Structure 1
Amino acid sequence: MSNASPYPIGTPGHPWGASEIAAWRAGVHRHRSYARDVLAAIEALRRTFDVSEYGALVYDGERFPLMVVRSRDWRANLPTLVVTGGVHGYETSGVLGALQFLREHGLEQAGRANLLVAPCVSPWAYERIQRWNRDALDPNRNFREGSPAGESAALVALLAPLRGRTLMHIDLHETTDSDESEFRPALAARDGEAFVPDVVPDGFYLVDDAERPQPAFQRAVIDAVAQVTHIAPPDANGQIIGCPLQSPGVISFAVAKKGLCAAITGARFSTTTEVYPDSPRTTPQQCIAAQVTAVRAAIAYALGHA
């Protein structure tokens, strides 16, 4: 899907200023409840996990607590596993997949590893089904110290003590039709650039770290997810979102240079999932199941090769 018409906010060729960001924000509306969907689900996990607040966002007088779920039997001598979801609020299966994993499988590695899960990194965007935060910033390009995105800065601070001590980090995402119909056109308009349409990959794929590649780890996750939903084929140029394939269903970025979430911990094994929920070949529940399967496969491989 593509959209070649001019974006309705801003002047082509000119980056947005404060007035354009305000106009964009005025058109963004709440569609769902973080408290009902996420906080209530996390509250129910207190029976078996340590649950705490690692920060809060205050937007327009409304407070959004940022929540983390940890193993209750955390031990310094055990390997650490990190799962993050909802970095982009519109990517629903990442949030619901992280929560379902905790409910159904969160104790499977008890006594063998420490588990840390941040199920919804961007609650304001989750409620509004948006990629950006309130300030029209993409959290997944801003994971660094001193980040201007509050969502990113809070998670960086939470995970800083684990940097270089984390065995596995999996970050759960989606690629949707709205990437081409809304989010990439908005990005081009915000930055004063021309929008160049692309093709949304039809299926699940992974993003490896080009500077710290782990191809066998990526293949293990892809093989497991292929039992749940279909893997994205390459486009006519043999690529996925403009990147050559490392292996079927796997591409790679320099994730740290791009400020992506999967680079925060410096984990030995790291990956970013991408599910395509708009495909006629899958369902919302299959997308959630694909995220859960990816987490379990990533953990199994990492612990088997620790």
Structure 2
Amino acid sequence: MNQRQYPIGTPGEAWGAEEKQQWLAAQQVKRSYFDDVVSQINQLHEQFDVEQYGALEYPSNTFPLFIVKTRHWDNSKPNVLVTGGVHGYETSGVHGALAFIKEHAEHYSQWFNIMVAPCISPWGYETINRWNPFAIDPNRSFKENSPAGESAAIMDYLQRHELTFLMHIDLHETTDTDNSEFRPALAARDGTFNENWNIPDGFYTVGNSEKPTQDFQQAIIDSVRKVTHIAPPDNDGKIIGAPIEQEGVIHYAGKQLGLCMGLTDAPYVSTTEVYPDSDNASPEQCIAAQVAAVKGALEFLRTV
């Protein structure tokens, strides 16, 4: 299904500074990172170590960036990383990360050192956007000399502390606005032709093709199916254009594409995707699915 012409730019021509400024001027604040996210993080200081790892200084606001860590970091335990809000508009990724911290992180700290970055892209959270103010996708920018401050900030933090991880799980959503807004905007920005994909109805994961982990992905899927439904493939046996590797699982090349899933060298990596626009899933179920995904991943790691 092909999308209508995007209202900014000239078809076939990549955006320059003028078009990017035009796009930025059209963005509006729709919710508050400080009210929705920082207020919850501020309630965690008694139970967890909360650390500001950077700040994004944008004309609209300065956004502090936070990591939450379980107490009594023990070098004899493996480290695990949970990230949310790399795409700020993907609400359950942010609130799923926060819910996991509050409800389960202390329990799992018996076996793991847990680090959570609940909202990597706060400007995107506030404006319900995939990009940052410079029309850059943070989830294609986890690479050397990153053009996205969101990606660079957490990359720098992890490099400074020389942290290694057994697992990294990155919490995302696939929404109807991927077809109505974000993919058309991407094609317009790059001067390419957009062809929409089928939006999968249900939960799925994106594993790293550079280090596939079939049993690990299966554990996540099995945990989430207790909370919400797993996305079936389309008529071509694909999800978002990628072939099915196993039920509810596709693969992308994490580091090659600059994805957040390639942020570390963890042997166990997964990107979760829930579908908040489904008639069969509430916002609460989407958050619960993100929490179930993290729990399923950790339960699997306790057995390896």
TM interval, shorter chain, is: over 0.9
Query: Is 1:272 the counterpart of 2:277 in the alignment?
Result: no
**What secondary structure does 1:274 align onto?**
strand
Residue 164 of structure 1: CA displacement? 7.5
> What is the Cα deviation at residue 109 of structure 1?
1.7
- What is the 5 A alignment of 1:225-304? 225-304=224-303
How many residues align? The count is: 304
1:134-213 pair list within 5 angstroms: 134-160=133-159, 165-213=164-212
Q: Does 1:59 align with 2:49?
A: no
- DSSP 3-state at the match of 1:116: strand
* Aligned 8 A contact 1:163 1:265 in 2: no
Aligned mates of 1:289, 1:3 — CA distance in 2 = 33
| Structure 2 partner of 1:101 | 100
Matched residues in 2 for 1:254 and 1:45: separation? 35
2:215 matched to which residue of 1? 216
Structure 2 Cα separation of the partners of residues 163 and 297 of structure 1: 27
Q: Distance in 1 between matches of 2:160 and 2:74?
A: 14
Conserved? CA contact 1:164–1:266, under 8 Å: no
Report the Cα distance in structure 2 between the residues aligned to 1:283 and 1:254, rounded to whole angstroms.
Answer: 31
Aligned-partner residue type, residue 47 of structure 1: E
8 Å Cα contact 2:142/2:260 also seen in 1: yes
Partner SS state of residue 58, structure 1: strand
Distance 2:118 2:112 in 1: 18
Deviations 1:67-121 (A, max 9, x none): 0001111122210010000000000000000001111111012232110000000
- Report the Cα distance in structure 2 between the residues aligned to 1:163 and 1:231, rounded to whole angstroms: 36
Per-residue CA deviations over 1:50-81 (Å, capped at 9, x if unaligned) read 00100000000621000000111112221001
CA distance in 2, matches of 1:79, 1:266: 13
Give the letter for the 1:211 counterpart. E
* Partner of residue 49, structure 1: 48
Output one character per residue of 1:199-218: Cα deviation in whole Å (capped at 9) or x when no partner. 11111000001010000000
Q: CA RMSD in A?
A: 1.2
Instruction: Check whether the contact 1:221–1:297 (CA below 8 A) recurs between aligned residues.
Output: yes
- Normalising by structure 1, we get a TM-score of 0.97
Higher alpha-carbon deviation: 91-100 or 260-269: 260-269
In the alignment, what sits opposite 2:111? 112
Aligned equivalents of 1:190 and 1:296: distance in 2?
A: 38
What's the CA shift string for 1:209-241, capped at 9, x where partnerless?
A: 101000000001001101110100000101001
- Provide the rounded CA distance (Å) in 2 between the counterparts of 1:164 and 1:80: 8
Q: Distance in 2 between matches of 1:138 and 1:152?
A: 9
SS of the residue corresponding to residue 106 of structure 2 reads coil
What SS does the corresponding residue of 2:294 show, helix, strand or coil? helix
Contact kept? 2:2, 2:195, Cα under 8 Å = no
Q: Which amino acid aligns with 1:53?
A: Q
Give the SS at the match of 1:106. helix
Quote the sequence identity (%). Answer: 54
Post-superposition Cα deviations, 1:145-182, rounded to whole Å, max 9, x if no partner, equal: 21010000001112225777211100000000000000
Tell me, in whole angstroms, the C-alpha distance in 2 between the residues paired with 1:83 and 1:61.
28
Q: Unpaired segments of 5 or more residues in structure 2?
A: none
CA distance in 2, matches of 1:75, 1:43: 24
Q: How does 1:80-91 map to 2 (within 5 A)?
A: 80-91=79-90
Q: State yes or no: 1:7 paired with 2:6.
A: yes
Q: TM-score, normalised by structure 2?
A: 0.98
Task: Measure, in 1, the Cα distance between the counterparts of 2:67 and 2:236.
Answer: 41
* Equivalent residues of 1:3, 1:181 under 8 A apart: no
Gaps of 5+ in 1: none
SS at match of 1:166: coil
Q: Distance in 1 between matches of 2:195 and 2:214?
A: 30
Q: Is the 8 A contact 1:209 1:254 kept in 2?
A: yes
Preserved CA contact (<8 Å) 1:3 1:180? no
Map of 1:68 onto structure 2: 67
**In structure 1, what residue type is equivalent to 2:211?**
R
